[in-house]
A and B are shown apart, each in its own frame.
Chain A
């Protein structure tokens, strides 16, 4: 072992990101422990770990969010470090602190950095002090409802309409309201406060000017404990449905070297302002004017990190492990090569308001070929359940140019076969043909603008009748009597649940 210490990593997560981290550990020669809820026993990620601890509990709160049980699992298996992945406990400062106090290495930034970025008002003030541009607006610290409302109204008049009300402890759209007219203000402010108190126990609200037609551009940063903080360029993630990213790419299609340099420097300044260590992402809104504004910092690995990996050649998770061991980062100067696109495959019915769907993965056959990467936590024979996030996989492609990457993505999506559960594959495929996506002029409202009445697939009639031929001939040929042999599906006697269960959710 060259430098640093020897570590054993417990991955406090599940599914696709657990697989990603466990594999990176395997590549680095690091021992691994997986923790899983009872209903995840036998999942792909548990098979990639050296040891598995089954957490006792039947809810997320009593399993993947149970800090004491996870730390005990680390102790009992000899793990010396904890990687939180994304979601679950990844941005919980109290967990980072508890891990450190238990004598374990937290693979992420300090609890103080998480806290400073987690409270949005504190983050805005910290960024302003560090010279990072924030969206014009004001923070209101009053907690008494009457005083707060008065202060907010005065602040709103100074910021101007249209504006956004956001909860300081907010996230996921909770405690957030767009206000277009002063007459709507009071009701919106009271609603945002109510939601924020209910969801986060903190009713503090701040005001931002509403910047419509903006792009969502984020900068990946890495910082080690040897004083080096760098950025790995941008990712553009404007294409979103219900505030959820579905199509991400690097580099940004409208990015210029000068703007990348400016945004990269701002992101590095943001990280340094909180003494950041590890991998993190600084999110910006890029206005049509070319101005950019700090949105928030995600103090963890992100879902869309692979596009940065493909264009920079940096293995971000491997760097996280190096940094956690106290080693310097291995990556050199930033070099961006070619273009990468990621789409998120969800078990959802895109034609029906993107409602989650569940069912068996009777066939799960990902595309293959040069320039294609698949990050997933499932395989053929698995069951998609309503217990967890409906993301099945991330399909990522790389090609020398953006146009070629888009062509490769179309080909890959056409080849991707998932049968037994409704997915958004066709929606993603049609997205690749949308004029704004082809030109790169996407904004955060592109999906709503293109499909104001919701999306419905465009299918050729000849293909419909040929599919009926396939179904009928398959029935006549008795192909349904062929046993589907899955991970937990057993061939032989008795009805196979994977062949008989098909539910729609909800």
Chain B
């Protein structure tokens, strides 16, 4: 399973593997330990991590360090429209990053929404061509509103 986060320059990609009750990545292994996350590092040391999510951001405390990872969500929830990308929550469009007719690939940022005082990037779930942009900058959008339409390329 792939997870993407906003990085300093490029998105950070994590390919998570599940083995029984454990999750692994980069040689590290994680198991649920009650409410806490037990991590066995690649070098064999064990740490208990704390994680909490606010909006799109995961906060992680691990071995005295605190990390803040902002997820890049693949288009949020399905709106029921074909290839439609729905607003994850009510908010305001800050920026539209693509034009009708433009080709996009999975992971491309399409729109920036401000919701609950926080910026959210709407990214393409798959490659295709933008067939419609339903809102412009400064428009208010309701939760679940279709933001853009994309015709998937096969």
| A interface with B by C-beta (< 8 Å) | 359-360, 362-363, 365, 413-415, 417-420, 422-423, 425-426, 429, 457, 459, 462-477, 479-480, 484, 495, 497-503
Quick one: which of B50, B62, B71, B116 contacts A466, CB cutoff 8 A?
Answer: B62
Q: Which of B52-98 contact A (CB under 8 A)?
A: 52-55, 57-69, 71, 89
The residue of chain A having its C-beta at the shortest distance from the C-beta of B30 within the complex is: A473
- Asked if A462 contacts B43 (CB within 8 A), the reply is yes
- Asked if A484 contacts B66 (CB within 8 A), the reply is no
User: Once bound together, how far apart are the Cα atoms of A363 and B59, in whole Å?
Assistant: 9
- Asked if A468 contacts B14 (CB within 8 A), the reply is yes
Q: Is the interface of A mostly helix, strand, loop or mixed?
A: helix
User: Once bound together, how far apart are the Cα atoms of A425 and B43, in whole Å?
Assistant: 26
Residue B148 CB within 8 A of the other chain? no
User: Once bound together, how far apart are the Cα atoms of A467 and B49, in whole Å?
Assistant: 8
- Asked if B55 contacts A476 (CB within 8 A), the reply is no
- Asked if A476 contacts B67 (CB within 8 A), the reply is no
User: Once bound together, how far apart are the Cα atoms of A108 and B69, in whole Å?
Assistant: 48
12 interchain pairs, CB-CB under 8 A = A360-B54, A417-B50, A420-B54, A429-B64, A467-B60, A470-B30, A471-B58, A471-B69, A473-B25, A475-B53, A500-B115, A501-B117
- Asked if A475 contacts B118 (CB within 8 A), the reply is no
User: Once bound together, how far apart are the Cα atoms of A374 and B18, in whole Å?
Assistant: 40
Query: Across the interface, which residues of B come within 8 angstroms of A462, CB to CB?
Result: 28, 41-43
Chain B interface residue number, banded? 35 or more
Query: Across the interface, which residues of A come within 8 angstroms of B14, CB to CB?
Result: 468-469, 471-472
- Asked if B118 contacts A474 (CB within 8 A), the reply is no
Quick one: which of B59, B65, B67, B118 contacts A420, CB cutoff 8 A?
Answer: B59
- Asked if B65 contacts A467 (CB within 8 A), the reply is yes
Q: Which of B89-136 contact A (CB under 8 A)?
A: 89, 115-118
Q: How many A-B residue pairs have CB under 8 A?
A: 156
Query: Across the interface, which residues of B come within 8 angstroms of A502, CB to CB?
Result: 54-55, 57, 116-118
Query: Across the interface, which residues of B come within 8 angstroms of A474, CB to CB?
Result: 37, 51, 53, 58, 60
User: Once bound together, how far apart are the Cα atoms of A111 and B75, in whole Å?
Assistant: 64
- Asked if B28 contacts A472 (CB within 8 A), the reply is no
- Asked if B64 contacts A500 (CB within 8 A), the reply is no
| Nearest Cβ on chain B to A367's Cβ, whole angstroms | 11
- Asked if B58 contacts A417 (CB within 8 A), the reply is no
Residue B39 CB within 8 A of the other chain? yes
- Asked if B25 contacts A468 (CB within 8 A), the reply is yes
User: Once bound together, how far apart are the Cα atoms of A495 and B115, in whole Å?
Assistant: 12
| Nearest Cβ on chain A to B10's Cβ, whole angstroms | 14
Q: Which of B10-41 contact A (CB under 8 A)?
A: 12, 14, 16, 18, 23-26, 28, 30, 32, 37, 39, 41
Please name the 10 residue pairs, one residue from A and one from B, whose CB atoms are nearest each other, closest first: A414-B64, A471-B58, A480-B53, A419-B59, A362-B52, A467-B67, A473-B23, A469-B25, A474-B51, A472-B3
Query: Across the interface, which residues of B come within 8 angstroms of A473, CB to CB?
Result: 16, 23, 25, 30, 37
| Nearest Cβ on chain A to B15's Cβ, whole angstroms | 9
The residue of chain B having its C-beta at the shortest distance from the C-beta of A482 within the complex is: B35
Query: Across the interface, which residues of B come within 8 angstroms of A500, CB to CB?
Result: 54-55, 89, 115-116, 118
- Asked if A471 contacts B52 (CB within 8 A), the reply is no
Q: Knowing A466-B28, A466-B41, say if A499 contacts B54 (CB, 8 Å).
A: yes
- Asked if A365 contacts B50 (CB within 8 A), the reply is yes
Q: Knowing A462-B42, A474-B53, A495-B89, say if A469 contacts B116 (CB, 8 Å).
A: no
Query: Across the interface, which residues of A come within 8 angstroms of B89, CB to CB?
Result: 495, 500
Query: Across the interface, which residues of A come within 8 angstroms of B28, CB to CB?
Result: 462, 465-466, 469
Query: Across the interface, which residues of B come within 8 angstroms of A471, CB to CB?
Result: 3, 5, 14, 51, 58, 60, 67, 69, 71
Query: Across the interface, which residues of B come within 8 angstroms of A476, CB to CB?
Result: 1, 3, 16, 18, 23
Most B Cβ at <10 Å: residue of A413, A420, A466: A466
- Asked if A475 contacts B58 (CB within 8 A), the reply is yes
- Asked if A417 contacts B61 (CB within 8 A), the reply is yes
User: Once bound together, how far apart are the Cα atoms of A365 and B32, in whole Å?
Assistant: 19
User: Once bound together, how far apart are the Cα atoms of A55 and B62, in whole Å?
Assistant: 42
- Asked if A363 contacts B61 (CB within 8 A), the reply is yes
Quick one: which of A362, A418, A479 contacts B54, CB cutoff 8 A?
Answer: A362
- Asked if A426 contacts B65 (CB within 8 A), the reply is yes
| Nearest Cβ on chain B to A395's Cβ, whole angstroms | 14
Query: Across the interface, which residues of B come within 8 angstroms of A464, CB to CB?
Result: 67
Quick one: which of B53, B55, B69 contacts A467, CB cutoff 8 A?
Answer: B69
User: Once bound together, how far apart are the Cα atoms of A477 and B58, in whole Å?
Assistant: 13
Query: Across the interface, which residues of B come within 8 angstroms of A423, CB to CB?
Result: 66
Query: Across the interface, which residues of B come within 8 angstroms of A475, CB to CB?
Result: 3, 53, 58, 71
Query: Across the interface, which residues of A come within 8 angstroms of B58, CB to CB?
Result: 470-471, 474-475, 480
